[in-house]
Structure 1
C-alpha cells in the first residue's frame, strides 16, 4: 500500500515539474541516432586507416611523385594497369582496413550496453579525425599541393612565347627517306653507369648501353662521360615522357582539360613527330608489351600518326602468346625484342619508309621484372634487371646492324623518365651532388653535331633532333619547345637555365590548354584515319539487270591530291573478303574519276556488296577515302 502511494506521489511530482514519459517516437529517434553514431564511428575510423595506409603505400611505391603526374593518372583510364600493383595495394591497404573495421564493429556490438561505449566511441572518432588531418597535411606537404595550386592559379606565357609550331616551319625530307627505330627504355638513366663513365654508381650496371652512348651520339662533346636529357615538369611519367619526346611539350594541364575517361582526342591542335612522319609517307607501328590503352597511349599514337597498335592484346589476338599469358604488365621484354625482329623484317620488305616505336617494361618500378635471362651478379634485384635490359638492348642493336636495312635506318634509344623506384637512387638524391638524367643515344644518324661541347638539354629536344637524325632539314632548328641538338642553336635549358624553365612549366598555361582542345588536325590525316571521307561517290544502280554498276567519284579532297597516283575500287561480298576484286578508276580533266563494277566477276550474286574507294599515293601507300554498302537485288 505504501509502495502504491509512493508511486502516485512520484507521478504527481513529475507532472508538477513538467516531466513527461518518453514517447515511442522519441525512443525510435534515439535508436536511429545511436546507430548513425555507430556507423559514423566505423566510417571515420575506416577512412582514417585506409588513408594512412594509402599515403604510406603511395610514397613507398612512387618516390618523388609529382602532383601533375598524380592529377594525370587520376583522370586517365585504368585499362592496362599492372595487376600486380593493384593486388599489392589491396594487400597492403584494403585488407588491413577491412580487418580493422571488422574488429571495431565487433567491439561496438559487444560494448553496446555498457556505459563506457560512448566514451570509447568518442576517443575513436577523435583519434581518427586527428589521423585524417595529419595524413592530409603530410600528403599536402610531400606532394607540394600548395605550390601546385599556386602555380595553377599563376598564368605563365613562357610556353606560348617559346613554342615553335611545326606547321609554321619548313621541314624538308631527303630524297631517300630513312627508316626510324625509336626505343623508349622504361626508367633508364645515365645514373646507373659508374662514376668514371658519367654515372653515379660505384659499379656500372648498364655496360652495353654505356658503350652504345660513348661510341655513338649523346651530345657529350669530346667528353666520354655519358650525357642525357633532363626530364622536366610534365614529363616524369611514361605517357608524359612519350608525349614530350614526340611533341616537344609537357603533359601538364588541368584536370578538366585532361579528362582521359571521356575525351575522344589527345591534343588534336598539336603537330607531332608521328604527324610529320605520317605526312611524309611513313608506315608507323607502336610495339609494347603492355595494354596500349593505359595512360592514353593508344589514343595519342593513333590520332597522331595513325600508328598500328601491336600491344599485349594484339599479341594474344594474333597467337603470339597464349591467351592466358600474363606477367608483370603483359609480356616481358625478352618477347618484345623477338617480336620486334619479326616486325622489322616485315617492314623492311615494304616500299615505304617505316617508323617502329618500342617501349620496354621490365625495368618498371618497383624493383623490375626478373626474366629467365636476368643475371644474379648484383646485390639488388633492380640492378640485375637493369643489367638484363642493357644486355638485351645491346644484342638487339647488334642484330639490327647485321640486317640489310640498317644502312638506311636511324636508331634512337632514350629513357622515358627517371626511375620512380622508392629506394634505388635514394642515397644519390640525399647527397644531392648528381643531376639525374635519362639515357640518350642517337645511332647511325644522318647528321653530325656542329657543337663539340657538352650540351645541356631536355627530353623536349628529342623531337626536332630525331627528325634531324633522319636527315631532315628544319628551318630554324626549333620545333615545339625543343632544339635540334645537331645544330649550334641553344636549347631552352642553355638559354634560361633548368630552374627557370622548370618553374615556368609548372605554372598555368592557357596556351597549352587551348592546344589540348583546338582541332587543328589536317584533313589528309583525318582521311587516312577513316575519320572523314576524302571524296564523294555515286553508285548508279539502273544497270544492274545488264550486269554492271557504274561508279563516279567526285570532289576528291585537295589535301590528298598532291600525293595522289590514282584511285581504285575494292569490291567484295563475303566476310573475310574472300572474293575481293579490284577495279581501276579512270580520271578526267576535271579531277573526277569513273569506273564500272562487273557483276559477272561475282557470278551475278544478289545481296550486300561492300564498295571502297581507295587512294593510291605516289609512295605506294594506300588507304580508303570512301566506304559504302549496296544491295544488289
Structure 2
C-alpha cells in the first residue's frame, strides 16, 4: 500500500468513525437512516438554506478533525524515515499497512452498527405492505360543501406532548398552546418515514411516508415536481377552488419545500428570499437558516389571513415555524433574556406564548365562524444525547402534539393517530369526505367509526418498518406519465 493510499484510507476511516457519533450527538437517537439518506441524496439544492451553525459543525467535526488520523501517520512516517534503519523501515511500513486495514474495518463496522444499517437493509428486502393498504385519493369522490370552510394549518417545529412535562422538575414549556380551546389527540404516534420536517409535512398532507429516492429519473432532486403522480391534500383543495399559501421563515429550497407545495395545489409559497423581496428589514433574518423568527412570521401570516378573509374565495394557509429547532432553539431577539438563556425550553415558551396570542386574536375576531385551525408538531423533538438524559427518554412513549380548534361540535371517535390520519381528518372537518370511514392513502379520519381492533391492526401495519419496503405503487408517485 502506497503512503498516499494509506493516508486516504486513514482519513476515510476517521470520517466513518466520527460521523455516526456526531450525527447522534447532534440529532439524538431518534434520527433514522432514511432521514440521513434523504438529505444525502437530495444534494446541494435540497440542502439549501441549512442553518450555518449546523454546516460549520459538520465540516469541523466530520471533515477537519479526521485529518488528524493521516496527520499522525504522516508524522510517524517522517520519524521512521529520519531515525529508523532500513530493516525497521520495512517492518514499520508493513505494520502501518496492517493497522490501516484493521482501523478501516473497525471504523466501517462501527458506522454500520451505529446507524443501524443492518435493520435498514432488512426493511429494503421486506414485503410490499404499502401497496396492499394504500387507498388512492384519485379514486375517491369528494363532496363539494355548500359553504366551504377555510383552513389554517400550523406546523410548530418539533412540537410534542412531552414538552408539557419535561424532566424531573416537570417543566411545562408549551402551556399557552395547551390552554387554547379545542381538543388534543393524546396518542399521536410517529411512524417510520415521518420523523423530520419535510417528511412530517408530506406524510400529514399526502398520507404516505417519505422515503429516499434512488431511481435515476428522479435523481435530480424532484426535477418534475415532488411526487408528480401523487394526490395530496393541496391538490384536492385546489380542485375545490381554494387559494392556498405556504409561509415559512427560512429558505424554501431546504428539503424541497417549494417543490412539494407548488406542485401540489398551492398558489403561493414564501420563504426567506421571498420575504426579503417583500421589503422586510434585513435585521429580522437571524432565525434558523438565516430566516425569519416565529414572531415575525406570525405577524406576517396575520396580514395574509386578513387579506384572504377580505376575499370571496375559500383559503388554506399553512405556516411552518422554526425557532424551536434543535439543538437549542433559535429564540427571537424579542424573546425575554431569561427565557432565551433557557435554550430550547425558552424558545418553546416564547413561541408558544406568541402563537397563543396569534390564535386568540383571530378567535376574538370571529375566525372560527368559517375556519378550522389545526396546530401540530412536524415531528418529535430531535434531542441531543445530553438533552435526552436531562429532559427526554426515548424509552418512554413520546407523541407528536396535535390540536384541532373548530366551532364544529364533533369530537374524535378515537384518541390515537399517526401523520397519515391528518389529511383525511382535515378533509372530514371541511365536509369533503362523503363518509368519515373513507380511507385516504394510509390514513383514516379521527371521526371514522372504525372498530378499535381494526384500527389497531392498521396501526401495526403503518408503524412497521416494512411500510418503507420497496413498493410498486409508491414508485409510481414519481412517474410523470
- TM-score, length basis structure 2: 0.89
| Structure 1 CA distance for aligned equivalents of residues 309 and 168 of structure 2 | 39
| Structure 1 CA distance for aligned equivalents of residues 78 and 453 of structure 2 | 65
| Aligned length, in residue pairs | 468
| Structure 1 CA distance for aligned equivalents of residues 292 and 475 of structure 2 | 35
Shift of 1:92: 2.2
Alignment partner, residue 85 of structure 1? 54
Query: What does the per-residue CA deviation read over 1:521-571, in whole Å, with 9 as the maximum and x for residues that have no partner?
Result: xxxxxxxxxxxxxxxxxxxxxxxxxxxxxxxxxxxxxxxxxxxxxxxxxxx
Equivalent of residue 457 in structure 1, options 417, 426, 436: 417
Is 1:153 paired with 2:155?
A: no
**Paired residues of 2:225 and 2:263 also in contact (CA < 8 A):** yes
Shift of 1:416: 0.5
Is 1:278 paired with 2:249?
A: no
Equivalent of residue 9 in structure 2, options 44, 60, 65: 44
Alignment partner, residue 206 of structure 1? 174
| Structure 2 CA distance for aligned equivalents of residues 418 and 131 of structure 1 | 36
Alignment partner, residue 243 of structure 1? 202
Query: What does the per-residue CA deviation read over 1:298-354, in whole Å, with 9 as the maximum and x for residues that have no partner?
Result: 111101013311100101122113299444212211211111112112222222111
1:122–1:54 CA distance, 2 compared to 1 (3 A) = farther
Cα RMSD of the aligned pairs, angstroms, is: 2.7
Alignment partner, residue 152 of structure 2? 181
Query: What does the per-residue CA deviation read over 1:93-149, in whole Å, with 9 as the maximum and x for residues that have no partner?
Result: 323234554564455345435434444444444334333322322222232212211
Give the secondary-structure state (helix, strand or coil) at the position aligned to 2:188: coil
Larger Cα-atom Rg: 1
Is 1:415 paired with 2:386?
A: no
Alignment partner, residue 164 of structure 1? 135
**Paired residues of 2:425 and 2:447 also in contact (CA < 8 A):** yes
**After the TM superposition, which residues 465-544 of structure 1 pair with which residues of structure 2 at under 5 Å, given as runs?**
465-475=425-435, 476-490=437-451, 494-496=455-457, 498-503=459-464, 504-517=466-479, 519=481
Query: What does the per-residue CA deviation read over 1:234-277, in whole Å, with 9 as the maximum and x for residues that have no partner?
Result: 11111111001001111125522763536322212211110011
**After the TM superposition, which residues 206-605 of structure 1 pair with which residues of structure 2 at under 5 Å, given as runs?**
206-212=174-180, 215-219=181-185, 227-252=186-211, 254-256=213-215, 259=219, 261=221, 263-322=223-282, 325-329=285-289, 330-374=291-335, 376=338, 380-423=342-385, 424-426=387-389, 432=395, 434-446=396-408, 448-449=410-411, 451=413, 454-475=414-435, 476-490=437-451, 494-496=455-457, 498-503=459-464, 504-517=466-479, 519=481
**Paired residues of 2:207 and 2:420 also in contact (CA < 8 A):** yes
Shift of 1:52: 2.0
| Structure 1 CA distance for aligned equivalents of residues 3 and 314 of structure 2 | 68
Structure 1 stretch displaced more, 46-55 or 435-444: 46-55
Shift of 1:51: 2.4
In terms of fraction of residues, the more strand-rich structure is 1
Alignment partner, residue 21 of structure 2? 56
**Paired residues of 1:461 and 1:491 also in contact (CA < 8 A):** no
1:265–1:378 CA distance, 2 compared to 1 (3 A) = closer
- TM-score, length basis structure 1: 0.69
In terms of fraction of residues, the more helix-rich structure is 2
1:193–1:79 CA distance, 2 compared to 1 (3 A) = same
Query: What does the per-residue CA deviation read over 1:369-420, in whole Å, with 9 as the maximum and x for residues that have no partner?
Result: 1223445369952211222221121111112113354421111101011111
Shift of 1:202: 1.8
Is 1:131 paired with 2:103?
A: yes
**Paired residues of 2:339 and 2:349 also in contact (CA < 8 A):** no
Instruction: Point out where structure 1 has 5 or more consecutive residues left out of the alignment.
Output: 1-35, 220-226, 520-633
